[in-house]
């Protein structure tokens, strides 16, 4: 089922040509670290920088391509899979209403569940992303148009660490009776200091020590999530606090923890034009503008955290959505002087907005804020060029509270007129703790027909469905025809 879900998501990217422009999407040949503002003159120029349409006015270029990618952030997938090994507390399966042995097993599972949620909270804005784009772009002389689409979605946990009281338990004495905690001894799972801390959390004395020893024995024999003793200690302190006098904690079977999946898919159809201004010995300045129709679909769903595994995070992304149509405006400029290009583009200047009135949302709409990106490219030799881009704005993402601001660049070598090779890297400088992503690409063919193949991969790894994968990956394939 998990594989089918991911396949369905990938097919959605390819078939529906949806697009997300919250983050600046690096469409086309992103092998030079995603740089394109000052070097893209092909069929995707209307998307990258309409100012580039001011140049190569005698050319007609068509570009057809698609890409798919993912991001695994801060081991969300791994922790969701760990939780899936435990019983769902919201069904009553962890209520302490059975015999002492069963109750102790359930209390041990509740401890692991709370410990993992604590670890997820400590990781901050952790999420799992899926993204992709599709391009059918064309430029005819100084005009550009096409269909540019992308989808981006993110699953993010919304954790409830208030409703964690073991159901049916109102005091340490109640807990000791329910789990059969009637003796104490030397701890095996916990350190002596952790053991004493746990005992004190349950009121200290013989009752507190008996409870601490019972949990020590249970976690020593059954710890299916491999929870550390430190995390278990913190979880048991919280459980102790939840049954203390004056606690406002609710029962764990009313816990509201969930995975919120947010996504935006849209395609834009621009009509763009670029106009060259001759600056004499100071080169040529190209200015351009694009007016575009944008048809979008906003996705928003909430799934309980406890009956989900990492392969199911996007299971319901397409089940709850709303369609709407809006429009946007882009402006761009590109200055060419000898072998130096400097470019800047400002996208979505009118803050186009898609409706969410029919969805369970605290917002009135899904607004795309303006994005500004600058770029430079230099042809050092006939066969060697370099380029770099930087986002000048902190751009929104589908993950609440997380920004995207990429800095990237690379080098391209063209040893023959039918072959080019490029390498580079980019980094999200708005997000702490996120490493660089390495990119590379190849181009084969002549002007009348060529193929681009580009890929990006992170040297860092994350865990998904029990396996380690690069934390970020993307692959893109496109065909070009110039005549």
| Number of Cβ atoms within 10 Å of the Cβ of 245 | 6
Inform me whether the pLDDT recorded for 11 exceeds 60.
no
Mean pLDDT of 169-194: 94
For the chain, the average pLDDT equals 87
Question: DSSP for 315-329?
Answer: TTTTTSEEEEEEEEE
Q: Which residues, including other chains, have CB under 8 Å from residue 286's CB and lie 6 or more apart?
A: 51, 52, 53, 54, 55, 274, 275, 276, 277, 333, 334, 335, 336
- Residue 124: which pLDDT band, with cuts at 50, 70 and 90? low
The phi-psi region of residue 94 (left if phi > 0; otherwise alpha if psi is between -120 and 50; otherwise beta) is alpha
Burial environment of residue 103 by CB neighbours within 10 A (0 to 12, 13 to 18, 19 or more): buried
In this prediction, residue 399 carries a pLDDT of 62
Mean pLDDT of 323-335: 96
- Residue 21: which pLDDT band, with cuts at 50, 70 and 90? very low
Inform me whether the pLDDT recorded for 206 exceeds 70.
yes
Look up residue 45 and give its DSSP letter: H
- Residue 384: which pLDDT band, with cuts at 50, 70 and 90? very high
Question: Residues in the chain, how many?
Answer: 483
Question: DSSP for 77-136?
Answer: HHHHHHHTTS--GGGTTT-S-S-HHHHHHHHHHHHHHHHHHHHHHHT-S--EEEEEEEEE
Residue pair 354/264 in contact (Cβ under 8 Å)? The answer is yes
Inform me whether the pLDDT recorded for 13 exceeds 90.
no
* Position with higher pLDDT, 80 vs 382: 382
pLDDT in tens, 29-75: 789 999 999 999 999 999 999 999 999 877 799 999 999 998 886 56
Query: Dihedral (C-alpha) 443, 445, 446, 447: value to the nearest 10 degrees?
Result: -50
Residue pair 121/158 in contact (Cβ under 8 Å)? The answer is no
For residues 448-458, one letter each, b for 16 or more C-beta atoms within 10 angstroms of the residue's C-beta and e for the rest, the string is: eebebbbbbbb
Angle at 374 between CA 371 and CA 379, to 5 degrees: 150
- Look at 210-219, 224-233, 261-270 and tell me which has the smallest mean pLDDT: 261-270
Q: Which helix (H) or strand (E) holds 461?
A: strand 461-464
Q: Which one, of 376, 375, 381, 453, lies nearest residue 413 by Cα?
A: 381
Residue 452 to residues 31, 161, 268, 305, 384, Cα–Cα distance (Å):
10, 49, 22, 41, 17
Mean pLDDT of 21-36: 79
* Position with higher pLDDT, 3 vs 273: 273
- Look at 70-79, 146-155, 350-359 and tell me which has the smallest mean pLDDT: 70-79
């Amino acid at each position: 089922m998990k594989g089918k879900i991911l396949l369905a998501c990938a097919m959605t990217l390819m078939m529906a040509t949806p697009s997300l422009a919250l983050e600046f999407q690096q469409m086309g040949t992103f092998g030079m670290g995603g740089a394109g503002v000052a070097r893209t003159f092909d069929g995707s120029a209307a998307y990258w920088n309409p100012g580039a349409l001011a140049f190569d006015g005698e050319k007609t270029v068509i570009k057809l391509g698609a890409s798919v990618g993912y991001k695994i952030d801060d081991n969300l997938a791994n922790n969701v899979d760990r939780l899936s090994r435990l019983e769902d507390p919201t069904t009553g399966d962890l209520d302490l209403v059975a015999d002492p042995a069963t109750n102790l097993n359930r209390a041990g599972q509740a401890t692991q569940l709370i410990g993992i949620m604590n670890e997820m909270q400590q990781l901050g804005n952790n999420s799992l992303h899926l993204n992709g784009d599709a391009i059918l772009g064309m430029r005819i002389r100084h005009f550009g148009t096409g269909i540019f689409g992308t989808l981006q979605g993110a699953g993010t946990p919304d954790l409830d660490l208030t409703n964690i009281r073991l159901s049916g338990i109102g005091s340490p004495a109640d807990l000791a009776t329910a789990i059969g905690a009637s003796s104490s001894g030397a701890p095996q799972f916990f350190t002596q200091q952790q053991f004493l801390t746990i005992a004190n959390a349950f009121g200290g004395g013989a009752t507190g020590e008996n409870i601490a020893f019972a949990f020590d024995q249970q976690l020593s024999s059954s710890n299916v999530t491999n929870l550390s003793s430190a995390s278990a200690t913190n979880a048991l302190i919280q459980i102790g606090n939840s049954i203390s006098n004056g606690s406002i904690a609710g029962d764990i079977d009313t816990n509201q923890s969930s995975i919120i999946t947010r996504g935006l898919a849209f395609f834009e159809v621009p009509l763009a034009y670029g106009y060259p201004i001759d600056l004499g010995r100071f080169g040529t300045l190209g200015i351009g503008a694009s007016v575009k129709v944008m048809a979008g679909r906003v996705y928003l769903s909430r799934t309980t955290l406890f009956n989900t595994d990492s392969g199911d995070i996007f299971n319901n992304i397409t089940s709850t959505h709303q369609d709407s149509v809006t429009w946007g405006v882009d402006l761009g400029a590109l200055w060419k002087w000898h072998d130096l290009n400097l470019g800047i583009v400002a996208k979505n200047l009118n803050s186009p907005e898609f409706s969410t009135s029919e969805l369970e949302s605290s917002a009135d709409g899904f607004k795309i804020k303006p994005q500004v990106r600058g770029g430079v490219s230099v042809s050092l030799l006939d066969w060697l060029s370099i380029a770099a881009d930087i986002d000048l704005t902190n751009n929104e993402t589908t993950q609440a509270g997380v920004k995207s601001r990429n800095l990237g660049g690379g080098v391209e070598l063209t040893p023959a007129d039918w072959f080019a090779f490029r390498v580079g890297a980019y980094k999200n400088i708005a997000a702490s703790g996120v490493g660089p992503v390495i990119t590379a690409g190849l181009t084969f063919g002549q002007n009348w027909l060529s193929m681009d193949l580009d890929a990006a991969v992170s040297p860092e790894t994350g865990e998904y469905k029990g396996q380690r994968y690069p934390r970020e990956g993307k692959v893109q394939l496109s065909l070009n025809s110039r005549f």
